[in-house]
Structure formats: structure tokens, C-alpha cells
Structure 1
Amino acid sequence: MMTAFARTVILYFLIMTGLRLMGKRQIGELEPGELVLTMMISDLATVPMQDFGIPLLAGVIPILTLLALSMLLSQLSLTSLRFRALACGTPSILIREGVLQQEAMRKNRYTLDELLEELRGQGITGVEEVKYAVLENSGHLSVLPWAKSQPPTAEQLGVKTGEDVTLPVVLVNDGRLLRRNLEARGLDEVWLREVLRKEGLSSHREAFLLTVDETGRVVCVRKEGEP
């Protein structure tokens, strides 16, 4: 039992480390090589987990080899545009200035139904409303409507929007004080106690969430069930 537990833990952290090296990607954003790598690693890991007669290294070495190969190919993709185009492909334009590019759709095996479904999902009802529709390497369809079809911005309307959006920093997370964030904002516990007092809280443990942005605006959410 302990052997199975130890082997599973080792392989789990090994695979998690490898996937972290691949970068932050959602499954739908994986390029073909990354998707194949993920599937192969999952298959390689299940064998030594279930069959104790197979040495653990028989699963670890192939996984490390695949991860090393993936890192090498990623580096080659960064240094060589030709190799990147060969390994990952290139984006394809499916709609150009409101006209369907049928040859590109056939080449990518992209049906008209799939294209119209994607357009409807982005609030577009007709092909003529689109200036460019680009099928990315990840399979995502990027749609660029004509300028006349795009919603106006506040700048175009001459509307003053006030302060720009600022990024809030979490100081209290579910009652836990994040001292590093507090110090990074140049604040101290004296300031925190004063803010909590104004919010009617006696301790940061009573706060579910407390954030402060670059302008000093504080947002505090009390824990449910707290008096």
C-alpha cells in the first residue's frame, strides 16, 4: 500500500512540474505538440502506478525524456520561425473582408456550420459583418469585425471616464492576513487596524476579503455568519 502511495505521489509531482514548465495554458489552447505530449505523459504515468512489477524508473525516464524534448522544441520554436511554422502550423484566414475563404476552410477541414456557430457565439449573425476571421494554431477563431460594426469607445464618444482601472491587491484572504502584500503596498498593521475599525471589524479574521488598489480604495467583505 505504501509503495503504491509513494509511486503515485512521485509521478504526480513529476508530471505537475513538467506541465508547469509548459506554461499556463488551458486544454483548448494547447498546440498539437503540447497536446500529444500531455496525452503521452498521462499514459506513461499510469503503467508504473498500477503495475508494481515495473520499476519506477521505467516510467520516470520516458517522462523526463519527453519533457526535455518538449523544452528543446520550445527553444527551437523561439529561435526559428521556420521550425515553429513546421511544428505548430500557421494561422489561417477563413474570412477576408467579408468573403469566405473556401480553400482555407477545406485545407483546415473547417465546416461552414462550425464557422457560423463560432460567429454566433461572438454575437455576429452574418459573414458580411466580419472583416477578418483568423483560425489560430490553438483552434480558436479570432473575429475582427468592420470598424463600423464595432461598438464605440469612450474616447470616440468624448466621454470622460475618470481614473483608469487599477489592480487591487488582496490583503486578507478568508481571514488570513497576507503580510507580504501589505508590505508591498507600503502599509502596516496600524493602517490595517484603522481600516478594519471603520468597517466595523475587530480583527482581520472576521474579514472574508479585503483588497486595496493603487489609488488607496479599499474593498472589504465580511465573513458570513460573523456578528
Structure 2
Amino acid sequence: MIIVVIRTLILYTLVIVALRMMGKREIGQLQPFELVVIIMISELAAIPSENVGIPLLSGIIPILVLLLTNLTLAWISLKSETARTIICGTPSILIERGKILEEELRKNRYNLTDLLEELRIKNVPNISDVEFAVLETNGQLSVFPKSQKRPTIPEDFHITTKYEGLPLTIIMDGKLNNKNLQESDKNLPWLKNELEKLGIHQFEDVFLASLDSSGTLFAQAKQQRKKVR
């Protein structure tokens, strides 16, 4: 039993490392060759972990070969546009100027039901409002509404907006992040004073505190648990 546990942990660690080396992308954003590699790696890892009679190297070596193959293909597609077209394919325009291109739908085996569903997900229920709809190589549908139908932005009214950066997490679950506090150009006395204004007296009582680019502090206290008698 201990041997099975150890073998499983080794294979699990190897699969996690392999997936981390493949990059940070969701399943829906993977290229076809990347999805194939993930499926094969999971199958190869499962066989030795279930059957002790199979040598552990029989699972490790194929996983490493697949990982090396994937990294090689990724590097080649990064360096060569021609190779990228062969390996990943090219985007297909499904809607052009409000008109559905039937030939492209047939070529990509993409039916009208799927197309209408994706448009609804993108909050564009009316095809006539679409300037272009592009089926990307990872299967995602990019929708570009006509200029008259897209949401207005400040630039349309020649309004200059202030810069908005990412908020910094200062306290998370009662733990102070000194690095983020220093980056925000604030200090401990200022933080304690701001928390006091919100009725929070200790860092340990803070569930989450973050600071936006304008210097405004958001803080939420931990929920008090009821004592069980």
C-alpha cells in the first residue's frame, strides 16, 4: 500500500510540474496539440499508479517525452509564423458586416445553434449588430459589434480619464503585507488610523484590506463567529 501511495505522489508531482511548464492557460484556451498532450499525460500517469506491476519509469519517460515535444512545438510556433499556422491553424471569420458566411461555418463544422449561443453569451443577440465574428484557433469566438451598437467610452466624448492601476492587497485574512504597504507609499500609523475610522482595532480582525490607485482604502472586518454554548 505504501508503494502505491509513493508511486502516485511521484506521478502526481510530475504531472503538476509538466502542466506548470506548459504555461498558465485555461482548458478552453489551449491549442489542439496542447490539449492532446494533457489528455495523454493524464492517461500515462494513471496506468502506473493503478498497476504496481508496471515499472514507474514506463509512466515517467513517456510523460517527459510528451512534455519535451510540447515545449518544442510551442517554441517552434513562437519563432515561426508559418509553423504556427500549420500547428495551430488560422482564425476564421464567421460573420462579416452582419452577414453569416455559410461556407466558413461548414468548413469549421460550426452550426447556427452554437453561433447564436456564443453571441448571446457575448451579449450580442442580434446578428445584424455584428460587424465581425471571428472563430479563434483555440475555439473561442471573438465578437466585434458595429460602431453604432458598441458601448460608449469616455474617448467618444473626448473625456480624459485618470489612470487606474491595480489595487494593492494590504491585509488578507488578518496578515499584513508589508511589501504592498511600502509600494503604496503608506505607513503603519496611517493604516492603523484608517482602520480605526472603520471601527477595526487590530490587523487580526481584518478579513481583507486593499488600496486602490487613488489612495482609497477598502477594508472588511472578519465575521464574528457565534460561540457555541
Normalising by structure 1, we get a TM-score of: 0.91
Tell me how far 1:83 sits from its aligned partner.
Answer: 0.8
Q: Any idea what SS the aligned residue of 1:25 has?
A: coil
Q: 2:100 — aligned with what?
A: 100
Per-residue CA distance 1:128-159 (angstroms, 9 max, x = gap): 22111100011111111111111221232456
Query: For the residues of structure 1 that align with 2:125 and 2:199, how far apart are their CA atoms?
Result: 51
CA RMSD of aligned residues (A): 1.9
Q: Provide structure 1 residue ranges, at least 5 long, that are not aligned to the other structure.
A: none
- Tell me the equivalent position of 2:198: 199
Q: Tell me the SS of whatever aligns to 2:180.
A: helix
Which residues in structure 2 correspond to 1:43-54 (within 5 Å)?
43-54=43-54
Cα distance in 2 for residues equivalent to 1:7 and 1:182: 44
1:168 deviation in Å? 0.8
- In the alignment, which residue of structure 2 is the partner of 1:143? 143
Q: Is the 8 A contact 1:206 1:226 kept in 2?
A: no
1:137-196 deviations in Å (ceiling 9; x for gaps):
1111111111111122123245675x3323111111111222332233344433333333
- Residue 34 of structure 1: CA displacement? 0.8
- How many residues are aligned here? 226
Greater mean deviation of Cα atoms: 148-157 or 207-216: 148-157
For the residue of structure 1 that corresponds to 2:171, the secondary structure is: strand
Aligned mates of 1:177, 1:45 — CA distance in 2: 40
Report the Cα offset of residue 63 of structure 1.
Answer: 0.6
Measured in 1, the distance between the counterparts of 2:3 and 2:185 equals 49
Structure 1: distance between partners of 2:221 and 2:153: 36
Letter paired with 2:39: M
Separation in structure 1 between the aligned mates of residue 10 and residue 177 of structure 2, nearest angstrom: 30
Unaligned runs of 5+ in 2: none
Alignment of 1:52-201 (within 5 A): 52-157=52-157, 163-201=162-200
Seen in structure 2, the aligned counterparts of structure 1 residues 125 and 214 have a Cα distance that, compared at 3 Å, is: closer
Contact 1:93-1:134 at 8 Å conserved across structures: yes
TM-score normalised according to structure 2 size:
0.91
Closer/same/farther in 2, CA of residues 198 and 44 from structure 1, 3 Å limit: same
Shift of residue 58, structure 1, vs aligned partner: 1.3
**For residues 213 and 127 of structure 2, what CA distance do their matches in structure 1 show?**
43
> Which stretch shifts more, 171-180 or 192-201?
192-201
Is the Cα contact below 8 Å between 2:211 and 2:218 reproduced in 1? yes
Partner of 2:28: 28
